[in-house]
Structure 1
Amino acid sequence: MKGRHFTPQDAELLEAILQNRRDIRGNRFHSKPISDPDLERILLAGIHAPSVGFSQPWEFVLVTDRQTRQKVKNSFDSENSKASEHFSGERQSNYQELKLEGILESPLNIAVFYRPSGGAVLGQTAMEEVGRYSVVCAIQNMWLMSRSLNIGMGWVSILNPDAVREILSVPQDRELVGYLCLGYVDEFYSQPELERLQWEKRKSLQSVVYSEQFPSSP
């Protein structure tokens, strides 16, 4: 059976979705629950991601309970306080003003875990970490599908993975890869928020692409 072919217009639409994907924070979310059909499409996008050796090493925990999310938020607050100590002066002040999560504001949190296979995986014998990269691919698929549905998604990385695993009663062998906040939003910014706030500048294509080999150090 032949695979589907796509049109130049399809490619343009995908490009638009890619370029307009945003990391959404709590000050943008509505409390309206995500519809079941939309949630199913987002999760199906995740499990259709590429995975090394077709291992599909992802598992998802859907979190809507307010008390559970408050416990996760407490972990964020603790880790965020520690994180601010890595910056100093104006940079630290700017960091403390950033809204970096939407754990309570979003109607749905999804914790995404990596489940090791316990045995040899085709394509993973030389680079064990590519199993985790497969889970990241699933998250990216979910992010793009969410954006195509005009649903916001934010990835919260300032968390204690062990605390999250305990809160959600997850087996010890699972590894937290991503903690996601999802919901309908009031607007999507035309630029990534950290770019808009001038926390970092976007790198040019020319600055990160090399021909044949990595350039010699100066």
Structure 2
Amino acid sequence: MTHPHRYDQAAIDGVYRAIRERRDMRHFRPDPIEPAQLARFIEAAHCAPSVGYMQPWRFLRITDTALRGALHAHVDAERALTAEAMGERADEFMRLKVEGILSCGELLVVGLVDGRERYVFGRRTMPEMDLASAACAIQNFWLAARAEGIGAGWVSLFDPEHVRTLCGMPEGSRPIALLCVGHVEEFYPEPMLQMERWDRRRELGEIVYENAWGTR
């Protein structure tokens, strides 16, 4: 029986296609993004669910070349520190391309607002739900961009306090993503880290339990 609230099949197929083909992109062309297009992606992000309807996300568009360069330099330094912490996988990690900050058409800093402690609804025992809410917003952005053929990549190799200071964000706020957005030559046929054999996607049988943790 057809459910009365079901989308038509073409729309359903489009939703699942965007989910399957979304990629964390690192390779970009420098062509600019149309302002109206970027606005649509941010509007999609702003439609995300948030605990207690707190809407904790803020998007900071980086248009200053020097600031973009400073962010890139910081990420590059953090990349080296991350490699040191990788132990035997350090060289393998350093061969990976982990960001496209200098080549993407748009760079956004996604941050959590300051004053989040006053939002108690849904966060009394799990204050990290503000981060979960903002992650939903980024995923909305990502899927909207993929549907329109635009790549996006989430960079998290940075010290939040350093980026907060660089970007003039208020004390108590917290950057969570440098979001690279731009045109791409092509989308990776599978997740890049899977292509590079860094790891693999788990089988569903490995991630679904029933009634007790670990019980399949």
TM-score in terms of structure 2 length: 0.93
Please give the per-residue CA displacement for 1:44-69, whole angstroms capped at 9, x wherever unaligned: 01110000011111111001221111
The equivalent residue for 2:22 is 21
CA distance in 2, matches of 1:118, 1:204: 38
* Aligned partners of 2:57 and 2:110 also within 8 Å: yes
The equivalent residue for 2:35 is 36
| Letter aligned with residue 202 of structure 2 | K
CA apart distance, 1:13: 1.2
| Letter aligned with residue 165 of structure 2 | E
Q: Give the direction of change, closer, same or farther, for the CA distance of 1:8–1:212 in structure 2 (3 Å limit).
A: farther
* Aligned partners of 1:52 and 1:121 also within 8 Å: no
Q: Does 1:103 align with 2:104?
A: no
CA apart distance, 1:212: 1.3
* Matched residue SS, 1:85: helix
The equivalent residue for 1:161 is 160
The equivalent residue for 1:186 is 185
The equivalent residue for 1:141 is 140
CA apart distance, 1:120: 3.7
CA distance in 2, matches of 1:38, 1:184: 12
CA distance in 1, matches of 2:165, 2:176: 15
Q: Give the direction of change, closer, same or farther, for the CA distance of 1:120–1:155 in structure 2 (3 Å limit).
A: closer
* Aligned partners of 1:64 and 1:107 also within 8 Å: no
| Letter aligned with residue 8 of structure 1 | Q
| 1:1-218 to 2 correspondences below 5 Å | 5-25=6-26, 28-89=27-88, 91-115=89-113, 116-215=115-214
* Aligned partners of 1:22 and 1:152 also within 8 Å: yes
CA distance in 2, matches of 1:126, 1:88: 35
Unaligned residue ranges in structure 2 (runs of 5+)? none
| Letter aligned with residue 102 of structure 1 | G
Report percent identity of matched pairs. 33
TM-score in terms of structure 1 length: 0.92
CA distance in 2, matches of 1:39, 1:168: 20
CA apart distance, 1:111: 0.6
Dislocated runs of 4+, deviation >3 Å: none
Unaligned residue ranges in structure 1 (runs of 5+)? none
* Matched residue SS, 1:155: strand
CA distance in 1, matches of 2:90, 2:127: 36
